[in-house]
Amino acid sequence: MTRRRWIAEHWDEATATLVGTQAEHMIRVLRAQPGMEADVVAGGHVFHAELAAIENGEVRFNLLAELEAEPALPVTLVMAIYKFDHMEWAIEKATELGVATIAPMIARRTEKHLAQAAAKRAERWRRIAREAAQQARRSDVPVIHDPATLESHVRQASTATRIVLAEQERSTTLRYALEQAIAAAGEETPVLEIAIGPEGGWAPAEEALFDANGWRAVSLGPRILRAETAAISALAVIGSFLE
């Protein structure tokens, strides 16, 4: 049975502290006491730790020894905002699959009411990612950016290999684009950005913008996938190449 990992909210070089619901669970449900041992994640590193003190509803650990941690997939999911429940499911699955960063985007076909409500949902998305990271025993929590407009992001300069999942694309597969990116990266591991459109797909002007800014359009096959299915499929394919 693998030991549960706790992701600390606060830490320094010698201690890490749980607060809020995690601390409450540890105190009330697990009846934790000083001396209890646990794996604690602090600042993207995993430590074997020992409970030092419980004070004012917070649980402080002494960090005893750093443990082997698995790196996240060097992937940013540039995800057009769509139906929140489906999108939140995709955030949870993308976290389990190792994504490093999720950048929610307002695309032309993002429904207006979702675009307006998105900024207020970012904290909820971060909580979902944190809980999924804990469950997946990750040593880090994916970064969830505040929602931005797709056009501003597409135009931004970047050293990443930028790939747009395009349902109309037929000739270039994700697999082929990855093989090329890996070959070009030599000994390094390529850093990737993967863009996924909203339920209504990409607008023609967005497809032209991707193309004009060096994004590679790729296909995930002849069938039209839901955005969340496309996200999971793409991350699974990338993980099979990079892990």
Q: Which two tokens stand for residue 153?
A: 């992001």
Task: Decide whether 112 or 223 has the Cβ nearer to ligand SAM.
Answer: 223
Beta strand pairing status for 15-18 and 37-42? unpaired
| Rounded Cα–Cα distance for residues 166 and 217 (Å) | 6
| Rounded Cα–Cα distance for residues 237 and 235 (Å) | 5
Return the residues of window 168-197 that contact ligand SAM according to CB under 6 A. 196-197
Task: Decide whether 128 or 150 has the Cβ nearer to ligand SAM.
Answer: 150
Q: Are the C-beta atoms of residues 228 and 93 closer than 8 Å to each other?
A: yes
Which of 90, 154, 163, 227 lies at the binding interface for ligand SAM (CB under 6 A)? 227
User: Rule CB under 6 A: is residue 224 a binding residue for ligand SAM?
Assistant: yes
| Rounded Cα–Cα distance for residues 21 and 98 (Å) | 24
In the complex, minimum distance from the CB of residue 201 to ligand SAM, in angstroms, rounded to a whole number = 3
Q: Which stretch binds ligand SAM (CB under 6 A): 26-34, 46-54, 125-133, 223-231?
A: 223-231
Task: Decide whether 17 or 219 has the Cβ nearer to ligand SAM.
Answer: 219
User: Rule CB under 6 A: is residue 61 a binding residue for ligand SAM?
Assistant: no
| Rounded Cα–Cα distance for residues 126 and 121 (Å) | 9
Return the residues of window 130-169 that contact ligand SAM according to CB under 6 A. 165-167
Distances (CA, A) of 171 to 180, 229, 236: 15, 20, 21
Return the residues of window 194-213 that contact ligand SAM according to CB under 6 A. 196-197, 199-202
Which of 11, 118, 219, 238 lies at the binding interface for ligand SAM (CB under 6 A)? 219
> How many residues belong to the site for ligand SAM (CB under 6 A)?
18
> Any idea of the CA torsion for 224, 168, 88, 72, to the nearest 10 degrees?
110
Nearest residue to ligand SAM, by Cβ distance, number only: 197
Phi, psi of 210 (to 5 degrees): -55, -45
In the complex, minimum distance from the CB of residue 70 to ligand SAM, in angstroms, rounded to a whole number = 27
Cα Rg of the chain, angstroms: 20
Task: Decide whether 134 or 233 has the Cβ nearer to ligand SAM.
Answer: 233
Task: Decide whether 73 or 81 has the Cβ nearer to ligand SAM.
Answer: 81
Q: Which two tokens stand for residue 89?
A: 């499911």
Q: Which stretch binds ligand SAM (CB under 6 A): 8-16, 93-101, 118-126, 222-230?
A: 222-230
| Rounded Cα–Cα distance for residues 98 and 166 (Å) | 22
Task: Decide whether 50 or 169 has the Cβ nearer to ligand SAM.
Answer: 169
End-to-end CA distance of the chain: 23
Residue ranges that bind ligand SAM, judged by CB under 6 A: 165-167, 196-197, 199-202, 219-221, 223-227, 230
